[in-house]
Amino acid sequence: MDNILIKAEKINKIYRLPAEEIKAVQDLDLQIRSGEFIAIMGPSGSGKTTLLDILGCLDSISNGRLEVLGKDVSRLKEHSLVALRRKNIGFVFQDFLLIPTLTALENVELPLLFSRMPCERERSISLLKKLGLAQRINHLPKEMSGGERQRVAIARALVTNPKILFADEPTGNLDTKSGEQIFRILKELNQKENLTVVLTTHNSKFGSQAKRIVYLKDGRIVCREDSCLYA
Ligand SMILES: Nc1ncnc2c1ncn2[C@@H]1O[C@H](COP(=O)(O)OP(=O)(O)OP(=O)(O)O)[C@@H](O)[C@H]1O
Ligand SMILES: [Mg+2]
């Protein structure tokens, strides 16, 4: 098998509202290879989140063809799609989305429960330690800072050992220092562990450190250079 993890061909996403049709993603072609670190950039409303959700199998396309890990996702039944996502894909969101009543450790273990994977507590604990959270393992989200919460969310996304990590504005709700720390962690996971990372960001300082930038405007890719100039 070649090392292409995701192949999108002429994909479209159209939101049909009562008064209008919104073309959030338009005729978009994209291939993502194993080991890439891609930043999706572009103005607000340009389709970054929609594209990320589609590539991560959280949302469906209106038409076109999308292959994820060799599977044509439009042909998959819901349960197969869920299994593909749970086994292979990790997600990190801007607002962390931790369960407020669960501790850091319990939040990290949750995907193992859903995926019916063995709950190896040591693995979850060592992930939290690796992310600098040894002192926060039994803390609730409200007892942690934003940067700490996002590190718990990263541990949660990694606990199933995914092939791809998607992160939608992972630093968007953080102060500069915590944002830099989160970005550095994602970069290290890519460089040291060869984890494929695809993130969206408004921050050109972070974007420019990605191996590849995909710049969107009105749902279309307007620039896909290794480094490109953007507004
Ligand atoms: N569920 C939805 N129903 C209808 N329209 C939607 C929906 N989700 C997104 N849109 C529209 O699709 C377009 C792309 O939205 P999207 O959230 O992908 O943009 P974005 O680039 O992530 O923006 P931001 O930088 O503000 O996060 C926008 O015009 C948005 O209003
Ligand atoms: Mg968005």
199: domain CATH number is: 3.40.50.300
Neighbours of ion ligand 2 (CB under 5 A): 48-49
Residues 6+ apart with CB under 8 A from 149: 96, 98, 141
pLDDT digits (tens, 9 = 90+) for 181-191: 999 999 999 99
Mean pLDDT of 17-46: 97
* Ligand 2 centroid from CA 126, angstroms: 31
Q: Is there an atom of ligand 1 within 6 Å of 48 CB?
A: yes
| Residues 21, 153: Cα–Cα separation, whole Å | 34
Instruction: Kindly report the pTM of this predicted structure.
Output: 0.94
CA–CA gap between residue 181 and residue 46 (Å, rounded): 27
- What mean pLDDT comes out for the span 165-175? 97
49 Cα: distance to centroid of ligand 1 (angstroms): 7
User: Which residues make Cβ contacts (< 8 Å) with residue 18, sequence separation at least 6?
Assistant: none
The sign of the dihedral angle between the CA atoms of 19, 202, 199, 181 is: negative
Distance 9 CA to ligand 1 centre (A): 21
Using one digit for the tens of pLDDT, what is the confidence trace for 209-221?
Answer: 999 999 999 999 9
113 in a structural domain: yes
Structural domain of residue 143, as residue ranges?
4-223
Does residue 212 lie within any of the structural domains? yes
Q: Does 127 map to a domain?
A: yes
Pocket-testing residue among 11, 12, 13, 15, ligand 1, by greatest number of atoms within 8 A of Cβ: 15
